[in-house]
């Protein structure tokens, strides 16, 4: 009986220990979820306001005077309320449409950031008199909120109401295009060689170890390397998508090689043996059997590598991609910036209005990253194969 009681006690203790451990694990997960939730809530709460912005209906006079001094195009009363960015465009309007000359047109124009901030209940630099005018116009329906198209169609600007993310997005696309164009084939070829062709000797093992180490090298070092090789030695234009893309390619290469090798290794040897057994050459074995089977895995790894490259800022700082780029680049050799760099730039701007732009930029970056990762997961799920 005593032994029985002791055994029972032991069992109860074991159960308690298990329960405690389980509770600890659940606690860890809850904490992680909480962090993510707080982070997302904070960013969304701070960023969503950037997607709409105040517009003001004003009469724009296109006369000789306003062509010389664009500020004269609108009445003095609303002049401080209209974005200076708009006023600068007034001569341009006439140039593109000569009919406008000498006419007065009533139109909705982007309001100054001060109006925006005031209406969004944030700190504003408007004088009490200007605030009164805004209130009056707002009640009269001449100031309204509308979707912030500038954010998606314009490049960077010193004026928050005119600043957009387009040049950064285009820059990112160009940079990543260069990165993938270089890193994917190089990485794939290297991995296929190492995994399927190379004999296992000291030299290949040395290369393997080094590739694994490269994946762990801090990314800023790749920036230094890119600066030294691509810009100073090869003469690639500074702060261009080409320079940034090549630098990121250097950084992504080990990741792609490692994930590709893992995907290749996941193809069972029985498939290789089967192919060799019916007399396939090594190249046929690789191209007919192993690559098609491992492609989903390879793509998944590459997409994850790409997502990582996309979120990278440090190496790009060194190749000059932290530049102020008001208009989207037309080619890979033109100065460009990328999303995270743009976010960083905005975050360091003194004006309060850039706060919400920063958050909005983060939201866009997150959306793109999540889409990429979801694609990777989908690919993996879709083509997951069991042997």
Partner 1 sequence: MQMPQPNDNPGDPEGVVARSSMGAAELREGSDTVEGEDRPQSTPAPGVTRAPEVGGGSEAAEPTHPTKVDVRGLSLWYGDTQALFDVSLRIPEKDVTALIGPSGCGKSTFLRCINRMNDLISAVTIRGQLLLDEADVYGSEVDVVQLRSRVGMVFQQPNPFPKSIYENVAYAPRIHGLAKKGAEMDELVETSLRKAGLWKEVSDRLSMPGTALSGGQQQRLCIARAIAVNPDVILMDEPASALDPVATATIEELIDELRSNYTIIIVTHNMQQAARVARYTAFFHLGEVIEFDDTDTIFTNPSQKRTEDYITGRFG
| Residues engaged in binding partner 1 (CB under 8 A) | 199-201, 268, 270-281, 284, 288-289, 293, 385, 387
Nearest alpha-carbon partner for 324 in 174, 177, 164, 89: 164
Q: How far is the CB of 302 from partner 1 (least distance, A)?
A: 22
Of 123 and 382, nearer to partner 1 (C-beta) is 382
Measured on CA atoms in the order 241, 359, 53, 354, is the torsion positive or negative? negative
Q: How far is the CB of 256 from partner 1 (least distance, A)?
A: 24
Q: How far is the CB of 259 from partner 1 (least distance, A)?
A: 21
Of 142 and 289, nearer to partner 1 (C-beta) is 289
Nearest alpha-carbon partner for 117 in 350, 354, 387: 354
Q: How far is the CB of 271 from partner 1 (least distance, A)?
A: 6
Integer Cα distance of 124 and 295 in angstroms: 55
Q: Following DSSP, what letter does each residue of 95-146 receive, concatenated?
A: HH-GGGTT-EEEEEEEBPHHHHHHHTT------HHHHHHHHHHHHTT-EEEE
Of 293 and 338, nearer to partner 1 (C-beta) is 293
- Which residues neighbour 36 within 8 Å (Cβ) at sequence distance 6 or greater? none
Of 204 and 308, nearer to partner 1 (C-beta) is 204
Q: How far is the CB of 378 from partner 1 (least distance, A)?
A: 20
Instruction: List the beta bridge partners of residue 56.
Output: 109, 143
Of 270 and 371, nearer to partner 1 (C-beta) is 270
Q: How far is the CB of 196 from partner 1 (least distance, A)?
A: 11
Phi (first) and psi of residue 57, to 5 degrees? -90, 120
Of 52 and 276, nearer to partner 1 (C-beta) is 276
Integer Cα distance of 204 and 322 in angstroms: 38
Question: How buried is 83 (Cβ within 10 angstroms: 0-12 exposed, 13-18 middle, 19+ buried)?
Answer: buried
Of 30 and 270, nearer to partner 1 (C-beta) is 270
Q: How far is the CB of 206 from partner 1 (least distance, A)?
A: 16
| Helix (H) / strand (E) containing 91 | helix 84-96
Of 218 and 268, nearer to partner 1 (C-beta) is 268
Q: How far is the CB of 211 from partner 1 (least distance, A)?
A: 20
Query: Which tokens belong to 207?
Result: 């290369």
Integer Cα distance of 111 and 161 in angstroms: 8
């Amino acid at each position: 009986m005593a032994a029985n009681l002791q055994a029972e006690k032991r069992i109860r203790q074991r159960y308690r220990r298990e329960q405690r451990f389980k509770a600890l694990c659940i606690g860890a997960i809850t904490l992680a979820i909480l962090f993510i939730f707080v982070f997302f809530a904070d960013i969304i709460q701070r960023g969503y306001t950037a997607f709409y912005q105040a517009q003001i209906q004003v009469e724009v006079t296109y006369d000789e005077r306003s062509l010389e001094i664009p500020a004269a195009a609108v009445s003095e009363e609303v002049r401080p309320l209209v974005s200076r960015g708009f006023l600068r465009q007034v001569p341009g309007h006439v140039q593109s449409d000569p009919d406008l000359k000498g006419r007065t047109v009533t139109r909705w124009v982007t309001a100054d950031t001060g109006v925006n901030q005031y209406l969004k209940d944030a700190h504003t630099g408007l004088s009490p008199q200007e605030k009164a005018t805004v209130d009056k116009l707002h009640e009269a329906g001449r100031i309204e909120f509308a979707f912030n198209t500038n954010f998606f169609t314009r490049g960077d600007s010193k004026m928050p109401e005119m600043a957009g993310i387009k040049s950064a997005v285009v820059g990112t696309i160009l940079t990543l295009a260069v990165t993938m164009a270089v890193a994917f084939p190089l990485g794939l070829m290297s991995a296929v060689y190492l995994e399927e062709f190379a004999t296992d000797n000291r030299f290949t093992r040395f290369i393997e170890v080094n590739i694994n180490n490269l994946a762990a090298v801090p990314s800023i070092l790749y920036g230094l390397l890119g600066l030294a090789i691509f810009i100073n030695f090869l003469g690639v234009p500074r702060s261009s998508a080409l320079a940034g893309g090549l630098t990121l390619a250097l950084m992504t290469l080990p990741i792609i090689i490692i994930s590709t090798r893992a995907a290749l290794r996941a193809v069972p040897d029985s498939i290789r043996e089967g192919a060799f057994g019916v007399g396939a050459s090594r190249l046929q074995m690789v191209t007919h059997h192993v690559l098609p089977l491992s492609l989903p895995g390879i793509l998944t790894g590459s997409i994850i590598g790409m997502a990582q490259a996309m979120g990278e800022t440090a190496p790009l700082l060194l190749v000059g991609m932290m530049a102020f780029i008001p208009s989207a680049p037309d080619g890979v050799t033109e100065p460009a910036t990328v999303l995270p760099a743009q976010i960083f730039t905005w975050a360091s701007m003194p004006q309060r209005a850039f706060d919400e732009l920063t958050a909005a930029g983060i939201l866009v970056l997150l959306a793109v990253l999540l889409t990429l990762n979801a694609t990777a997961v989908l690919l993996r799920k879709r083509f997951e194969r069991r042997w």
